[in-house]
Amino acid sequence: MSQFDLTRAVKPATGPVIKRILVRCPSTGKLAPTGKTVEESAWDTTKLNRPRLTCPHCHQVHNWTKKDVVLAR
């Protein structure tokens, strides 16, 4: 069996940066994960369609907008 298969190109270390979308709960001030992710470079042009979140902290449903969002790794 050949062992001379080690010359393949090394993948570049940089790729799309995927961020998790967190929203700050207006009642508790804690960050709540939306379960959504976005490519960081695409965030500025991402359109949101009336997003809602059932909050794990205060158990209410929050409507959120892009200005409420914190992007996290």
Please report, as ranges, the residues that interact with Zn ion according to CB under 5 A.
Answer: 25, 27, 55, 57-58
Q: Closest distance between Zn ion and the C-beta of residue 53, in Å?
A: 8
Nearer to Zn ion, 27 or 46 (CB): 27
Nearer to Zn ion, 18 or 26 (CB): 26
Cα distances from 11 to residues 7, 8, 14, 15, in angstroms, run 12, 9, 9, 10
Q: Closest distance between Zn ion and the C-beta of residue 27, in Å?
A: 5
Question: Chain centroid to CA 29: how far?
Answer: 19
